[in-house]
Structure 1
């Protein structure tokens, strides 16, 4: 749905270490019509008769529009209370409930102080929460009184709202695993799932001794994993993926080796730039496997490992 003319939003920006926030900005106009005026939208519900208004409690349903003038549209209501808190201050606590289709039934919770209309023409209120599209909101409302004649007070509102962006369910899927059940399991925790693979390091000669990798997770944090397996075999240099390079496919073999039953005996790694690296010894394997999926990239590994890599599977993410 397209944004209305009174609303703009910024690009998401990171809040270290994991959270992102979206900033929403509004420019709106709020109408307060006091008691005794035609069309009043507030009502005194408690009055102790004090001359300084202390303790007077007023229920309100102030109208909020997208502009000034007779053609302005009602986009929200400010529903709540304001209470006399000693001359000239009134404490207010209200919920802005949106009726405009773009934000319908979403709310913002606002609190603060304002003065008598002939004293306090500028000020600010705090945004202390929200629901719907503004869940867990925080921010500020800068208000400026434009008029206060004949019992009608018009305030211009400039609202700056920050809302956390909650991660969507991860599209990461798992393929495999292949190999035996020796060793101990290695797997990534669900809150650190990979977004992009950066390096892969495989050590091995007659068999795959160990595997390690680095990746960027869904929050943009770089993480190092492993090595999983033993410390034998040829110490190979890591595969370093370029900024736009991905891991497209791996295939390999499993078999018995050195008294171990069904371990990973070879791995061949193919990147999107058609770089091919082979590790271990294919002839030591009895079974073959292949990890590849259309329109997906390999972004990490899991499985089992002990003295060697006993088992391997992969995490894949849609391109």
Structure 2
């Protein structure tokens, strides 16, 4: 039976390369011998194909959800009783709260209990994504294991920690904290901006960016040169520039991002030099600190420099740049993901 072509997973990308495929089945003697002919193994139904995905649009992502609540009512269950539970998980410990997810599964009453349930999220961003949870005991404080997930939480592994927020005779309000690692699909970077003039040559990148690694800026009166490095969607480091390179006594400043540092905003000013509109200053803002300003925000005279700012939505960051440059940096725009 011919081996069918490998199919790309919608999560892992669209360029599979088959590294190992099964050989066609061969006839072999019947087990234990005998003269009734040969034994033909059944058709290959699993196909045993190992596939490598190049350019996978996924990354390891940490899930850190805090202050979720559910209400657990004690039952008078007897040992060996099987129960089916459907519980609401909300963002408030009170009776009125926004439902974040539903937990559905089984609770087997043994000496203590055994749980296996699925949390299905209802929030707009994660709607339909699930976490598969298993554990022992449901009453009081403790932990459950996250053994899988789907959607945004594909292949999740981690723990759910629970503490008692409120205890009554017939029920407990338990606070849940979810801590896990999963393979979350990367969003495709989008262009935003650009700010500055229309002169110079067009500058852009060839590979889609995933994470910004460093930025190099030189500027005294205006921004003379600009370069950066980033990791593309295959986690290969790409170095771009420097763009521009006009005469300047300024020293090039290189900003290297820390392991969890991302650029959340870039601002600056636009003015004119020798009749050409250029970037006169830049400021880089990360989730850790602010770098700059570089250049001179008042180069073109008080009131003549026009300010600009590009902030990104929560949960996203600036991962690359594009623009125009000649002797100086004429314009700049941003890739956001």
Shorter-chain TM-score: what band? Answer: 0.5 to 0.7
CA gap 1:264/1:137 in 2 versus in 1, 3 angstroms = same
The more displaced of 236-245 and 169-178 is 169-178
Shift in Å, 1:236: 2.8
Q: Is the 1:204–1:232 contact (alpha carbons within 8 Å) kept by the matching residues of 2?
A: no
What SS does the corresponding residue of 1:314 show, helix, strand or coil?
Answer: strand
The more displaced of 150-159 and 227-236 is 150-159
Q: Does 1:239 align with 2:255?
A: yes
Partner of 2:308: 289
Shift in Å, 1:173: 0.6
Q: Is the 1:207–1:264 contact (alpha carbons within 8 Å) kept by the matching residues of 2?
A: yes
What SS does the corresponding residue of 1:141 show, helix, strand or coil?
Answer: coil
1:173-188 to 2 correspondences below 5 Å: 173-188=190-205
Q: Is the 1:268–1:276 contact (alpha carbons within 8 Å) kept by the matching residues of 2?
A: yes
1:114-133 to 2 correspondences below 5 Å: 130-132=5-7
Shift in Å, 1:313: 0.5
Give me the CA root mean square deviation: 2.8
Q: 5+ unaligned residues in a row in structure 2: which ranges?
A: 10-15, 58-185
CA gap 1:198/1:183 in 2 versus in 1, 3 angstroms = same
Distance, in Å, in 1 between the alignment partners of 2:29 and 2:231 is 51
Partner of 2:164: none
Q: Does 1:301 align with 2:189?
A: no
Q: Is the 1:141–1:160 contact (alpha carbons within 8 Å) kept by the matching residues of 2?
A: yes
Q: Is the 2:54–2:234 contact (alpha carbons within 8 Å) kept by the matching residues of 1?
A: no
Aligned residue pairs, count: 189
Partner of 1:201: 216
Partner of 1:162: 50
Q: Is the 1:263–1:309 contact (alpha carbons within 8 Å) kept by the matching residues of 2?
A: yes
What SS does the corresponding residue of 1:296 show, helix, strand or coil?
Answer: coil
Q: Does 1:314 align with 2:195?
A: no
1:1-319 to 2 correspondences below 5 Å: 94-95=1-2, 108-109=3-4, 130-132=5-7, 137-141=18-22, 147=30, 153=39, 155=41, 160-165=48-53, 167=55, 171-189=188-206, 192-233=207-248, 234-257=250-273, 259-284=274-299, 286-294=305-313, 295-317=315-337
CA gap 1:249/1:161 in 2 versus in 1, 3 angstroms = same
**TM-score of the superposed pair, with normalisation by structure 1:** 0.53
Shift in Å, 1:246: 1.0
Pick the structure with greater CA Rg: 1
Shift in Å, 1:230: 2.1
Distance, in Å, in 2 between the alignment partners of 1:265 and 1:141 is 62
Shift in Å, 1:161: 1.7
What SS does the corresponding residue of 1:182 show, helix, strand or coil?
Answer: coil
Question: Deviation per CA, 1:21-62, whole angstroms, max 9, x where unpaired?
Answer: xxxxxxxxxxxxxxxxxxxxxxxxxxxxxxxxxxxxxxxxxx
